[in-house]
Amino acid sequence: MFVLDKILNFGKIERNRQSFYCSVCTFSSAQPQNPPKIERGPYVKHSWKKFASLLQDSRSILIASHARADGDALGSELALAAGLRSLGFRVTVVNPDLPSEMFRFMGKDFDAIRFFDGTSDLGTDPDPRRLSRSEAQTFDTLLIVDTSARSQLRSLSELADSGYFKVLVIDHHAVSDRLTENDFSDASKPAAGCLVMDLLESLEIPLALREEDASCSIADFLFFAIATDTGWFRFPSVLPETLHQAARLMEAGASTSRLYRFACENYAPARMKLMEALGRNFTLECSGKLAYSRLEKKDFDQAGAVMSDTSEMVNQLLTTAGVEAVCLFTQVENGVRLNFRSRENFDVAQLAGQFGGGGHKNASGAFLGTSMTEAQNRVLPSMRALFQNSTHKN
């Protein structure tokens, strides 16, 4: 039985915890094949009560996020899943691909994450974690977290555009692909986990809630989400309210030192060998303000490393004294992945946008279906321009 009265009545919750900023959307639900990206805003004060009201006639919810889900995406998804299940909803977490093994500490919740690759139903599927189209259609609502980009959703964007599901979005990125008019996002928040925490508190769901046999509580998932997307609270996106939220999660029992150990002190030995290639290919330009490096297939092969071993490597480049903007070029299947980071005065989200990517002002990414040499030849002139064009500075 659904606890709908709980969803629609927030009497004991402080007003400032009920509110968030929701982008004004006036477009039709019928989307063009490749709609232009939009900047979210202006923002208007709104209540999570509208979000809850949209769940009144929902019974089953797919919670989805972007490919290569990071800590913010997974932590937000799993916190939402636990919270919504406590209200009586049938919930499944599904992403375009399976999560990295570095998140295995999440226990049974990690094992329960499904993937959707658009494959038609094949009868007996050898991979039980693949979500088929027919199984997906047993759900009535699609809740997308930590992205609004069709390219990041991959085949899941087909579900979002199908018209079969009620689609809702909770995101903190500034650029949107207009997935739905039910867009509950706030680009001023440093992590999707901040928004999910606001929602769950508004629904009076205990942050200390831990499902049976679960390795993590809601507080653990949310702390991990927020901490990993803020560089453990060191990025300029962190707000005073972010630290207040972290404190409430600690009060609810979040295992902060354990989570840090799993996130930052649990690397495979092969990663240390891959770091050698990162240093060997390290280059400084623009009077030491621009740094970049590359990781090629041969580097992974020699180190015995996998893609998840590159976690945090781009941030290592930014720890170099005097460096203001960095890029890590990583060879992947069919192209090169670009990861940008910068100090406060340089907007790498705009830079990533030039190559079909996006993200935040100081942390963004993109993909180029080219060779490593061509990728560097295309990207580096634009990076050098950051230091020649004052319009990129505050």
Instruction: Examine the pLDDT at 241 and tell me if it is beyond 50.
Output: yes
pLDDT recorded at residue 4: 53
On average, the pLDDT of the chain sits at 87
The model's confidence at residue 392, banded by pLDDT at 50, 70 and 90, is: very low
Instruction: Examine the pLDDT at 34 and tell me if it is beyond 90.
Output: no
Weakest-pLDDT range from 7-21, 39-53, 75-89, 254-268? 7-21
Comparison of pLDDT for 358 and 199, the residue scoring more? 199
| Best mean pLDDT range from 21-25, 170-174, 213-217 | 213-217
* Residue range 6-24: mean pLDDT, rounded: 40
Comparison of pLDDT for 233 and 5, the residue scoring more? 233
Which three-class secondary structure string do you get for 143-204? EEECCCCHHHHCCHHHHHHCCCCEEEEECCCCEECCCCCCECCCCCCCCHHHHHHHHHHHCC
Burial of 34 (0-12, 13-18, 19+ CB in 10 A): exposed
pLDDT digits (tens, 9 = 90+) for 35-79: 444 444 433 344 698 999 999 999 999 999 999 999 999 999 999
The model's confidence at residue 12, banded by pLDDT at 50, 70 and 90, is: very low
* CA distances to 15, 72, 303, 307, 329 from 269, in Å: 48, 25, 9, 14, 22
Instruction: Examine the pLDDT at 30 and tell me if it is beyond 60.
Output: no
In degrees and rounded to multiples of 5, residue 377 shows phi and psi of -65, -30
pLDDT recorded at residue 119: 78
Comparison of pLDDT for 72 and 151, the residue scoring more? 72
Of the CA atoms within 13 Å of residue 339, those in its CB half-sphere come to 17
pLDDT recorded at residue 373: 98
pLDDT digits (tens, 9 = 90+) for 347-386: 999 999 999 888 888 999 999 999 999 999 999 999 999 8
Give the three-state DSSP class for 28.
Answer: coil
pTM (2 decimals)? 0.81
pLDDT recorded at residue 124: 63
The model's confidence at residue 178, banded by pLDDT at 50, 70 and 90, is: confident
Instruction: Examine the pLDDT at 177 and tell me if it is beyond 90.
Output: no
**Contacts of range 316-319, beta carbons closer than 8 Å, 24 or more positions apart:** 316/275, 316/278, 317/278, 317/282, 317/291, 317/292, 317/293, 317/341, 318/291, 318/342, 318/343
Q: Walk me through the domains of the chain, giving residue ranges and CATH numbers.
A: 4-263 (3.90.1640.10), 269-392 (3.10.310.30)
Neighbours of 117 (CB within 10 A): 12
CA distance 264 to 51: 35
Helix or strand (DSSP H, E) at 79: helix 71-86
The answer to whether 22 and 43 have CB atoms below 8 angstroms apart is: yes
pLDDT recorded at residue 123: 63
Hey, which residues does 284 pair with through a beta bridge? Answer: 291
pLDDT recorded at residue 359: 84
pLDDT recorded at residue 229: 95
CA proximity to 225, closest of 182, 170, 266, 178: 170
CA distance 25 to 35: 14
Instruction: Examine the pLDDT at 393 and tell me if it is beyond 70.
Output: no
The answer to whether 246 and 227 have CB atoms below 8 angstroms apart is: yes
CA distance 378 to 368: 10
How does DSSP classify residue 121? P
pLDDT recorded at residue 344: 84
* Maximum CA extent, the chain: 64
Q: What is the DSSP annotation of 239-295? A: -HHHHHHHHHHHHTT--HHHHHHHHHS---HHHHHHHHHHHHT-EEETTTTEEEEEE
Weakest-pLDDT range from 121-130, 228-237, 287-296? 121-130
The model's confidence at residue 127, banded by pLDDT at 50, 70 and 90, is: confident
Neighbours of 123 (CB within 10 A): 5
